[in-house]
Amino acid sequence: MADLAAVKAALTSQVIETPSWGYGNSGTRFKVFSQAGVPRDPYEKLDDAAQVHAATGVAPKVALHIPWDRVDDYAALARYARDRGLVLGAINANVFQDDDFKLGSVTHPDPGVRRKAVGHLLECVDIMDATGSRDLKLWFSDGTNYPGQDDITARQDRLAEALGEVYARLGDDQRILLEYKLFEPAFYTTDVPDWGTSYAHCLRLGPRAQVVVDTGHHAPGTNIEFIVAFLLREGKLGGFDFNSRFYADDDLMVGAADPFQLFRILHEVAKNGGFDPATGVAFMLDQCHNIEAKIPAVIRSVMNVQEATAKALLVDLDALRAAQRDGDVLTANAVLMDAYNTDVRPLLAELRGELGLPADPVAGYRASGWQERIVAERVGGSQAGWGA
Ligand code: LRH
Ligand code: MN
Ligand code: MN
């Protein structure tokens, strides 16, 4: 039997980082839908994130995206966050929304464009110094659309050079988290398309470069928990961008499409010690809420991660290992399924009660009056960045 007190302690110390862009308007390339009351600036995004933290108790960190969250004074933004019980999390660089980056950013054939891209990445490290952020999260849209368009190997060389320059600029407590994605917006080659490419670059860079796994960035059918187990074993799992998908990079609420996959991923995290804050695994959300109400959707997502975490922590590892040792396939599988099929909602409601949180965080948010207030007070909200 899993130790319930230890399960509760792990659930209490878990930190789920929410994305600033999840609070803004978003959409697809076909349409960005506007919602009433969305934040008009990064400060208001933090106000909304504070509501998520108030309702759940486990979401004190907020990731920023630069330049979507550009402000004059980042130290002041960090203070504003602190005053609301929050801290600023990963700084996400954006080298994908500038006309200059049409053929790539750090892998662009023109050294002048590469310099501009690296300049932005270095500026993001300056911002981290001001905000106290630990993580520089890098996702490159770089790639090609047509065979022959550019030299695949030369692009890897350019990528390595840029990453090396940024790595050298990191402070002792800062990390590069290198994200991969199979395709989109590039449709033929992508310069960091998979975990292996990211891992190879991180390995070469050194211990402060780690891989980030965005759950929506794989080919259909990819066994993500295998990747997670492998990276944890190598000390190279920097964190997650959680979301869920039915087809490609859908950015739907985590746990909505495939809660069983989320459980299998978090089982690997639990089994390999990844919930220990000392391992530094960041549990981030990377989602956009195009058609649903944003703040309750973020709350729901946090709850979905908590539920999958609780189930993963409930796996009876002694029984599992005994069955594995005995080659008892059916019992091993049953041990795992017993944990997955446990209704952990009463346990989480009890824990929230003990912590003075609403037993039902979505209901707690709805009763708070915040939604009505922002709809009345905020006029002309901004969009997350897509299509901006
Ligand atoms: C790319 C990505 C990356 C970006 C975010 C907005 O698809 O997952 O993490 O920063 O979306
Ligand atoms: Mn992502
Ligand atoms: Mn993505």
Report ipTM for this prediction. Answer: 0.99
Q: Which ligand is nearest to the CA of 95?
A: 1
Ramachandran assignment for 308, one of left (phi > 0), alpha (psi -120 to 50 degrees), beta (any other): alpha
For 333, residues 6+ apart whose C-beta sits below 8 A from its C-beta are: none
Amino acid at 164: G
126-177 residue pLDDT tens: 999 999 999 999 999 999 999 999 999 999 999 999 999 999 999 999 999 9
4-377 is classed in which CATH architecture?
Answer: Alpha-Beta Barrel (3.20)
pLDDT over threshold 50, residue 364: yes
Task: Output the pLDDT for position 383.
Answer: 63
Whole-structure pTM value: 0.97
Facing residues of 178 across strands? 138, 211
Residue the block writes with tokens 């960035």? 217
Alpha-helical regions (H) of the chain:
4-13, 42-56, 74-83, 111-131, 152-169, 195-205, 224-233, 259-271, 294-314, 317-325, 329-340, 345-354, 361-368, 370-377
Which ligand 1 atom sits nearest the alpha carbon of residue 249? 7
Question: Any long-range contacts for 38-44 (C-beta under 8 Å, 24+ apart)?
Answer: 38/294, 38/374, 38/378, 38/381, 38/382, 38/383, 39/378, 39/381, 39/382, 40/378, 40/380, 40/381, 40/382, 41/71, 41/382, 42/69, 42/70, 42/71, 42/77, 43/71, 43/77, 43/80, 44/374, 44/378
Task: Output the pLDDT for position 203.
Answer: 98
User: Average pLDDT for residues 219-244, to the nearest whole number?
Assistant: 98
* Beta carbon of 181 within 6 Å of any ligand 1 atom: yes
Q: Which ligand is nearest to the CA of 385?
A: 1
pLDDT over threshold 90, residue 379: no
Residue 136 backbone dihedrals phi, psi, to 5 degrees: -100, 110
Q: Which ligand is nearest to the CA of 241?
A: 2
Terminal Cα-to-Cα distance of the chain (whole angstroms): 51
Amino acid at 148: G
d(CA 97, CA 32): 16
Task: Output the pLDDT for position 387.
Answer: 41
Q: Which of 69, 179, 386 to mutate to test the pocket of ligand 1 (most atoms within 8 A of CB)?
A: 179
Q: Whose CA is nearest to atom 1 of ligand 1?
A: 139
User: Average pLDDT for residues 202-231, to the nearest whole number?
Assistant: 98
3-state secondary structure at position 34 = coil
Do 384 and 26 form a contact (C-beta atoms < 8 A)?
A: yes
Closest CA to 254 of 292, 287, 220, 229: 287
pLDDT over threshold 50, residue 122: yes
C-alpha of residue 35 to centroid of ligand 3, in Å:
22
* Beta carbon of 20 within 6 Å of any ligand 1 atom: no
pLDDT over threshold 80, residue 256: yes
Confidence class for position 121, pLDDT limits 50, 70, 90: very high
* Beta carbon of 139 within 6 Å of any ligand 1 atom: yes
44-101 residue pLDDT tens: 999 999 999 999 999 999 999 999 999 999 999 999 999 999 999 999 999 999 999 9
d(CA 84, CA 66): 21
Mean pLDDT over all residues of the chain?
97
Q: Which of 241, 251, 288, 386 to mutate to test the pocket of ligand 1 (most atoms within 8 A of CB)?
A: 241
Do 201 and 234 form a contact (C-beta atoms < 8 A)?
A: no
**pLDDT > 70 fraction of the chain, expressed in percent and rounded:** 98
pLDDT over threshold 80, residue 204: yes
Do 287 and 22 form a contact (C-beta atoms < 8 A)?
A: yes
294-347 residue pLDDT tens: 999 999 999 999 999 999 999 999 999 999 999 999 999 999 999 999 999 999
Token pair belonging to 29: 């390339």
Q: Which residues of 111-140 are buried (b: 16+ CB within 10 A; e: fewer)?
A: eebbebbbebbbebbebbebbbbbbbbbbb
* Beta carbon of 214 within 6 Å of any ligand 1 atom: yes
Ramachandran assignment for 147, one of left (phi > 0), alpha (psi -120 to 50 degrees), beta (any other): beta
Confidence class for position 362, pLDDT limits 50, 70, 90: very high
Task: Output the pLDDT for position 388.
Answer: 42
Cis amide bond preceding 67, omega within 30: yes
Q: Whose CA is nearest to atom 4 of ligand 1?
A: 139
C-alpha of residue 139 to centroid of ligand 1, in Å:
6
* Beta carbon of 304 within 6 Å of any ligand 1 atom: no
C-alpha of residue 216 to centroid of ligand 1, in Å:
10
